[in-house]
Amino acid sequence: MESDPTPGGGSPVAVERPRSKMVRYAIERQALRDRIDQLERELAHERRQRQQIVEQYERLLREKEAAIESEAGLLDGLF
């Protein structure tokens, strides 16, 4: 039947199935892209937090070292 829209005279549903899969795959790909974007944002946020913690630790360490040096200077002045 040459007027049939599908090869071999099959039902139009047979043609829609591959399209349906393509749409489903496109939706799944978009969902995966969205999830990857979300995970990348979370990772960047965690990295910033870790960097802030490192910077805070280094600042506290410098303050402690300065306090120790100051105390040592006071003790040297007494003796």
pLDDT by residue for the chain (79 residues), tens only, comes to 445 455 555 555 555 578 899 999 999 999 999 999 999 999 999 999 999 999 999 999 999 999 988 877 766 666 6
Inter-residue contact 1 to 9 (CB < 8 Å): yes
Predicted model pTM: 0.57
Residue 6: partners with Cβ closer than 8 Å, 6 or more residues away: 12, 14, 15
Rounded CA gap, 53 and 76, in Å? 34
Domain residue ranges of the chain, discontinuous segments joined by +? 20-78
